[in-house]
Amino acid sequence: MKKEMSYIDQVHSFGRKWNIFVMIMLIAYPVVTGLIFKTGPDWHGFALGLVATAPMYWAVAVVETITYVPMLGAGGSYLSFVTGNISNLKLPVALNALEQADVKASSEEGEVISTISIAVSSIVTTIIIIIGVLLIRPLTPVLNAPVLAPAFAQMVPALFGALGVVFIAKNVKIAIAPVILMLILFIAVPALNAGTVGIMVPVGVLFTLGVSRLMYKKGML
């Protein structure tokens, strides 16, 4: 008799299968498009671009896997890596849901809550995008209004700021070092902007873990 898989085993089984399926679909689109229009990429330019960018994305992929999985849980991580926009949307949603439920992502309850919150977030995001596509023309004058530009520019900072207050208040000692580091980096290096959030979040997490470990050994925590 075949042994029934546990919840976490099913999560890993379906997670691996769907991630592989999505990878195949992402690769298939440009291949099929090229076949339909009987064209292909400039392989020399493709190789140069790959060599220039791939190492950075490989490093980010490894770091993000190490840092995001403990915070999102297995199910939430598989779903987040498929749907994307982790640092700006999926991570804040999952952390807030776990905070409200007062559970950890590593627990079975946390696994379920994190996965459900990210799934709901993905569905809501998709619905909003569909509505936006349908209404983009009539809403363009409103969205491009200069009076709204400052508000749109502060959406992500406001989101992370609200979450930051909650988690910083939990342990101010741990929060001081990463906050100072990020302030120094973003002020001293203007090139670090919203486009680098995906890299800087894992960097901040690793730095915080290192500082916290050092403070713990010195009896400061």
Same domain (yes/no): 37, 87: yes
85: closest CA among 58, 104, 54, 64? 64
Same domain (yes/no): 192, 127: no
Query: What confidence score (pLDDT) does residue 193 get?
Result: 66
Domain that holds residue 18: 7-152
Residue 120 to residues 117, 167, 198, 207, Cα–Cα distance (Å): 5, 23, 22, 31
Query: What confidence score (pLDDT) does residue 196 get?
Result: 64
Q: Is residue 45 part of a domain?
A: yes
Same domain (yes/no): 187, 120: no
DSSP 119-167: HHHHHHHHHHHHHHHHHHHHHHHHHT-GGGHHHHHTHHHHHHHHHHHHH
Query: What confidence score (pLDDT) does residue 120 get?
Result: 93
pLDDT along the chain (221 residues), means of 10: 75 90 91 89 84 75 81 88 82 86 84 91 90 84 82 77 75 85 83 66 81 86 74
Same domain (yes/no): 175, 100: no
Same domain (yes/no): 95, 187: no
For the entire predicted model, the pTM comes to: 0.65
Among positive and negative, which fits the CA dihedral 107, 110, 114, 115?
A: positive
Query: What confidence score (pLDDT) does residue 32 get?
Result: 92
Under 8 Å CB-to-CB from 169, ≥6 apart: which residues? none
The pLDDT tens digits for 5-53 are 788 888 889 889 989 999 999 899 989 999 999 888 888 888 888 887 7
Whether the Cβ atoms of residue 82 and residue 19 lie closer than 8 Å to each other? yes
Same domain (yes/no): 148, 175: no
Same domain (yes/no): 175, 134: no
Residue 19 to residues 1, 7, 84, Cα–Cα distance (Å): 29, 18, 12
Q: Is residue 166 part of a domain?
A: no
Give the end of a domain, one of 107, 124, 152: 152
> What is the count of structural domains for the chain?
2
